[in-house]
Amino acid sequence: MTFEPVLTARIGRDRSQSIDTYVADGGYEALRKVLGGDWTPEAVTEEVKKSGLRGRGGAGFPTGVKWGFVPKDTKGKPVYLLCNADESEPGTFKDRLLMEKDPHQMIEGQIISAYALKSRTSYVYIRGEFFHGARVLDRAIAEAYEKGFLGENILGSGFSHDITVHRGAGAYICGEETGLIESLEGKRGQPRIKPPFPAVFGVFGAPTIVNNVETLCCVTHVMKRGAEWFAKIGRNEKNTGPKLYCLSGHVNRPGVYEAPMGLPMKDLLFGDAFGRGMKDGRTVKAVIPGGASAAMLTAEEIEDCPLDFDGLAAKKSMLGSAAIIVMNEDTCIVDAARNLAKFFSHESCGQCTPCREGTPWLHRVLDRIESGEGRAEDVDLLEKISNQMANGMTICVFADAAIAPVLSSIGKFRDEYRYHVENRRCLVGSRASVEATA
């Protein structure tokens, strides 16, 4: 059976952002259906549960189940829905595409989700760098108000909803849902201690659900074509639906690719419809399957590796934001780990001592190994620092993310680390040079 793109179906279309082309392509039909009288909010939640949809933001938590955590009695408090459009995980660029090219697909999903949650107000928290994406969304939201898909008494249903685009200002940690909530409240984006969970006590002290851009886009299609249809796409009943994969690094054709959840990694890298193999005929050395926070895999490990939540968990890594970063045989693993450590050192929010102190320490040690000044005990030291940052020593899982590239690269390429320390240089050609792109 050939797969017809769902989420990216309209991307190449002329004026794909406009509400006219969206409606002409069957857009807002799902919303009309949901608000048409036969669907209670609870029934929508049930349908989403049945679809097997799991969050596309990183953790893969079942969306309908999460919605069910909002208390029945909110004690007079409103319910907020927040769309997480912070997309900052290195290697990830799917939400940018979805918002810039087909904003109404997301907006429709957001209104339907809000209806299921009985939410009057939602926000799109979009990273500050997406100036263009924010303008596209603002325009699309204005169009939706004009056509009566937003605002008071939508399509005469009695349901009312408002969406506001809220721009971040440069901080990776605001993608973590409680960091996002703090930031939306006008504070530093420092994650909260959980519990209480956002579904009970979120933004402005009210029940709050945070969902990723792609998740909300999926909701549109679940309600348009049904949970059963959605659940049939994908590798198995735990990994369902269409999925966007962000492919970057040393492949011939990097880009965003849509496929059924569970696409084999080898297909993504080498398939004609996807990456078309390694650039310059090189071989694969390592692949990061889920963004900077995911453990690296070796060439051997990707042989039989479905790209979905459980397929990657089985390899002790994760699908995360589905950012697949491919490194060829000429890549110095220590250099790559150092680059990732620099990211985490820069982005730690600084609340927890193990994370605030550990992330720059890891970076310093990796930097000295890579620069040929490593000491015999440094590799052990990296592991020791990492272990002190892991396993619930911190407020959020950022610290666990920060150590994943370090520990996995040491575990899988220990010889290369040893070579650096003993020979004071890289085993392979060291850093990438810009000539690679010239």
Ligand X SMILES: Cc1cc2nc3c(=O)[nH]c(=O)nc-3n(C[C@H](O)[C@H](O)[C@H](O)COP(=O)(O)O)c2cc1C
Here's the x/- map for other proteins, 73-102, by CB under 8 A: it reads as --------------xxxxxxx-xx------
Give the closest residue to 327 by CA, choosing from 382, 252, 224, 249. Answer: 249
C-beta atoms surrounding 176 within 10 Å: 26
* Binding of residue 211 to ligand X (CB under 6 A): yes
Q: Of the candidates 16, 17, 51, 88, which one interacts with ligand X according to CB under 6 A?
A: 88
Pair 221, 26: CB distance under 8 Å: no
Q: How far apart are CA 9 and CA 5, in angstroms?
A: 5
Closest listed residue to residue 435, CA positions, set 280, 277, 269: 280
- Could you tell me which of 183, 303, 228 has the C-alpha nearest to residue 49? 228
Q: Which does 352 bind (CB under 5 to 8 A by kind): ligand X, ligand SF4, other proteins, none?
A: ligand SF4
- Using the contact rule CB under 6 A, the part of the chain among 89-97, 234-242, 345-353, 413-421 near ligand SF4 is 345-353
CB of 206 to ligand X, least distance (A): 17
Minimum CB distance to other proteins, residue 46 (Å):
30
Contacts of 166 (CB under 8 A, 6+ apart): 123, 124, 125, 126, 184
59 binds ligand X (CB under 6 A): yes
Residue 169 touches other proteins, criterion: CB under 8 A: yes
Report, in Å, the least distance between residue 12 CB and ligand X: 25
**Residue 323 interacting partner from ligand SF4, ligand X, other proteins, none (CB closer than 5 to 8 Å by kind):** other proteins
Closest CA to 312 of 364, 257, 245: 245
Cis previous bond, 196, omega within 30 = yes
Q: State whether residue 9 is helix, strand or coil.
A: coil
Query: Taking CB under 6 A as the criterion, which residues in 279-308 touch ligand SF4?
Result: none
Name residues contacting other proteins, limited to 221-250 (CB under 8 A): 246-250
- The alpha carbons of the chain give a radius of gyration, in whole angstroms, of 22
Those residues with Cβ within 8 angstroms of residue 60's Cβ, 6 or more apart along the chain or in another chain: 54, 309, 318, 319
Nearest to 191 by CA among 183, 58, 403, 340: 183
Sole binder of ligand X in the list 215, 248, 317, 408 (CB under 6 A): 215
**Token pair for 155:** 């399509």
Instruction: Please say which residue, 32 or 194, places its beta carbon nearer to ligand SF4.
Output: 194
Q: Please report, as residue ranges, which positions from 389 to 428 form the binding site for ligand X (by CB under 6 A).
A: 396-398, 401
Q: Of 162 and 383, which has the nearer Cβ to other proteins?
A: 162
Site for ligand SF4 in 182-211 (CB under 6 A): 190-191
Q: Is 215 in the site for other proteins (CB under 8 A)?
A: no
**Residue 418 CB contacts under 8 Å (≥ 6 apart), including other chains:** 379
Q: How many other C-beta atoms are found inside a 10 Å radius of the C-beta of residue 277? A: 16
In sequence order, what are the residues at sequence separation of 6 or more whose Cβ sits closer than 8 angstroms to the Cβ of residue 417?
333, 334, 369, 374, 379, 409, 410
C-beta of 310 vs 357, nearer to other proteins: 357
Q: Is 355 in the site for ligand SF4 (CB under 6 A)?
A: yes
One symbol per residue from 163 to 182: x for binding ligand SF4 (CB under 6 A), - otherwise; what is it?
A: ----------x---------
Nearest to 259 by CA among 16, 2, 44, 47: 2
Among ligand X, ligand SF4, other proteins, none, the one that 177 touches (CB under a kind-dependent 5 to 8 A) is ligand X
Please give the residue ranges that form the binding site for other proteins (CB under 8 A): 87-93, 95-96, 127-132, 162, 164, 166-173, 183-189, 204, 246-250, 254-256, 288, 292, 323, 325, 327, 331, 336, 339-340, 342-343, 345-350, 356, 359-360, 431-438
Please give the residue ranges that form the binding site for ligand X (CB under 6 A): 55-59, 61, 63, 84, 86-89, 173, 175-177, 210-212, 215, 396-398, 401
Please give the residue ranges that form the binding site for ligand SF4 (CB under 6 A): 173, 190-191, 348-352, 355-356, 394-396, 398-399
